[in-house]
Amino acid sequence: MAFEDLREFIKTLAKTGDVVHIRQEVDWDLEAGAIGRRAYELQSPAVLFEKIKDYDGFRIFGGMLGTFRRVAIAMGLDPATPVKELYAEYERRIKQPIKPVITADGPCKQNKIIGDKVDLFSLPTPYIHDGDGGRYIGTWAFAVTQSPENGWTNWGMYRFMIHNKNHIVGWPRYSSHLGMVLHKQYVPQNKPMPIALVLGTDPLCNMVATDAIPIGADEVDFAGGLRQEPIELVKCETNDLLVPANAEIVIEGEIYPDRTAQEGPFAEYPGYRMEGAKSGVLWRVKAITYRNSPIFTMISLGVPPDDSSIAASLTAALAMKRRLLRHEIPITEVYVPPYGVTHIVVVGVKRGGNDVAKQIKDVLTARRADVNKIIVVDNDIDPFDFDQVIHAFATKCHPIRGIFCEEIEPPRGNALTPAYNAQERRAYRGAIALFDCTWPPELNKINEVPVKNSFDSMFPEELKKKVVANWKSFGFKEKK
């Protein structure tokens, strides 16, 4: 069962107690951001702001996928589904893409503002964090763009800020799919790049827009796979791009091939504000279309947990897993713990040792090193269980022979890593630390590998079976 649109998802959240409807008037100027931020930090429900100061008739929805419960609900699963099962289900569905269907009309066309009438300040874009460079219109939205060469249509989540009444500025990195296509295919020909920014859809569309789906593949097919039903698309008013017909708000425009503008600063996903303004990608807005009583979507990004550290950590982990498996590295699971804000990843391996650990490091840093700490554990450790991971790290990672640190050469460094200094960040320099918490395969299993003192590893199979079989009758529960 897939959600028809964002509204149906919010109704379901209301039934499970996972959304708070705020009916008092709330100010778009910092107040919505402050409420949204505190809600994350107290692991509260998502928020639907029903009355926005200066913007009658508009609503704002914050925190769509800010807890694993909300991710589970978005996938049509039991809200209490364990994180590991969410990962497995996402992984299973993403392997079965479903092509979209195209319709002639849709709710996103109920209101149209075209050309000179466009005024971005007619939307209730929040000024989210004190210190942001402006009002951020894209914090939990996705950009649709297309390659002029082969029609590859990309959906990606990149931040966007209002520049003026009909211009938006953003920071899709050079290495993002939008950035690559812009700089390699449009800029050299001095051609403007059509773009549509989509707010308020089935949450699985947002989720897939955070996923590093390979170059050349259309994210919309994977959104279909995730919801197990095709996405309905409708054509834009001012270009040929296709957008979800049920979207709350669609902003259409063209990225200049030859103009940039200042973007930021912004409270970024690692949980800090680091830099001043950057030079950003600039676009002119040519049309805005929206549903009646539209719901604007936002996140109040910051320290974890929030939609970025919850939903986007899951997609980041599974993208890393796909990459490692493509390189035939003998891995089991990959986990990105939310509080590690995609700066730390835990990789489980079938066969340990420095060589395998170094291969993992090389693959995960080859194109760009967004992560800066990699923990590799043997398959007796569940990477999703941080108690087990810290035990392996404490006991098996040799402080000299188990830790490998190296510099990451520009431009592969992650400019948003708080630990890097300003020069490193600006130059896209970086560093990586690999923590090998595995036993080397050359150790003699009988004499050299210390025996682990656990229920699983210390007792005869027959006895273990008997103990497990009698467990409940002794008066214990199955799980911790």
Ligand X SMILES: Cc1cc2nc3c(=O)[nH]c(=O)nc-3n(C[C@H](O)[C@H](O)[C@H](O)COP(=O)(O)O)c2cc1C
Binding site for ligand X (CB under 6 A): 154, 156-159, 171-173, 176-178, 210-212, 269, 308, 312
Q: Work out how close the CB of 154 gets to ligand X at its nearest, in angstroms, rounded to a whole number.
A: 5
Q: Work out how close the CB of 253 gets to Mn ion at its nearest, in angstroms, rounded to a whole number.
A: 19
The site partner of 210 among ligand X, Mn ion, none (C-beta below 5 to 8 Å per kind) is ligand X
The DSSP line for 29-66 is BTHHHHHHHHHHHTT--EEEEEEETT-TT-EEEE-TTS
**Among 247, 250, 296, which residue's Cα sits nearest to residue 50?**
296
Q: Which stretch binds Mn ion (CB under 5 A): 35-43, 86-94, 130-138, 174-182?
A: 174-182
Tell whether residue 177 is a contact of Mn ion (CB under 5 A): yes
- Report the residue number, 213 or 319, with the smaller CB distance to Mn ion: 213
- Report the residue number, 219 or 306, with the smaller CB distance to Mn ion: 219
> At which residue do the structure tokens 């520009």 appear?
410
Among 139, 146, 154, 372, binds Mn ion (CB under 5 A): 154
Q: Which stretch binds Mn ion (CB under 5 A): 45-53, 209-217, 221-229, 380-388?
A: 209-217
- Report the residue number, 247 or 377, with the smaller CB distance to ligand X: 247
- Report the residue number, 152 or 386, with the smaller CB distance to ligand X: 152
The site partner of 321 among ligand X, Mn ion, none (C-beta below 5 to 8 Å per kind) is none
Q: Work out how close the CB of 224 gets to Mn ion at its nearest, in angstroms, rounded to a whole number.
A: 15
Residue 368 in tokens: 């760009």
- Report the residue number, 17 or 410, with the smaller CB distance to ligand X: 410
Angle at the Cα of 346 (from 174 to 74), degrees rounded to 5? 70
Helix (H), strand (E), coil (C) string for 260-320: EEEECCCCCCCCCCCCCCEEEEEEEEEEEEECCCCEEEECCCCCCCCHHHHHHHHHHHHHH
Q: What pairing do the DSSP bridges indicate for beta strands 278-290 and 111-114?
A: antiparallel
The site partner of 173 among Mn ion, ligand X, none (C-beta below 5 to 8 Å per kind) is ligand X
Q: Work out how close the CB of 110 gets to ligand X at its nearest, in angstroms, rounded to a whole number.
A: 27
Q: Work out how close the CB of 90 gets to Mn ion at its nearest, in angstroms, rounded to a whole number.
A: 16
Instruction: For residue 283, give every residue at least 6 positions away whose Cβ sits within 8 Å of its Cβ, in sequence order, or none.
Output: 167, 168, 169, 170, 193, 195, 253, 254, 255, 256
Q: Work out how close the CB of 257 gets to ligand X at its nearest, in angstroms, rounded to a whole number.
A: 18
Residue 374 in tokens: 């990699």
Amino acid at 370: D
- Report the residue number, 87 or 158, with the smaller CB distance to ligand X: 158
Give the separation between CA 192 and CA 114, rounded to whole angstroms: 18
Q: Work out how close the CB of 178 gets to ligand X at its nearest, in angstroms, rounded to a whole number.
A: 6
The site partner of 335 among ligand X, Mn ion, none (C-beta below 5 to 8 Å per kind) is none
Q: Work out how close the CB of 146 gets to Mn ion at its nearest, in angstroms, rounded to a whole number.
A: 11
The site partner of 176 among Mn ion, ligand X, none (C-beta below 5 to 8 Å per kind) is ligand X
- Report the residue number, 61 or 393, with the smaller CB distance to ligand X: 61
**Among 254, 256, 248, which residue's Cα sits nearest to residue 286?**
254
* CB-nearest residue to ligand X: 156
Residue 44 in tokens: 């509260």
Instruction: For residue 200, give every residue at least 6 positions away whose Cβ sits within 8 Å of its Cβ, in sequence order, or none.
Output: 5, 6, 61, 247, 248, 249, 291, 294, 295, 296, 297
Q: Which stretch binds Mn ion (CB under 5 A): 14-22, 54-62, 211-219, 290-298?
A: 211-219
- Report the residue number, 55 or 158, with the smaller CB distance to Mn ion: 158
User: If you count them, how many residues does the chain have?
Assistant: 480
Instruction: For residue 416, give every residue at least 6 positions away whose Cβ sits within 8 Å of its Cβ, in sequence order, or none.
Output: 268, 269, 270, 274, 425
The site partner of 171 among Mn ion, ligand X, none (C-beta below 5 to 8 Å per kind) is ligand X
The site partner of 172 among Mn ion, ligand X, none (C-beta below 5 to 8 Å per kind) is ligand X
Tell whether residue 354 is a contact of Mn ion (CB under 5 A): no
**Among 419, 392, 396, which residue's Cα sits nearest to residue 408?**
419
User: From residue 339, how far is each of 18, 242, 331, 368 by CA, in Å?
Assistant: 21, 36, 23, 21
* Residue 128: DSSP 8-state: -
Q: Work out how close the CB of 169 gets to Mn ion at its nearest, in angstroms, rounded to a whole number.
A: 21
Which spans of this chain sit near Mn ion (rule: CB under 5 A)? 154, 177, 213
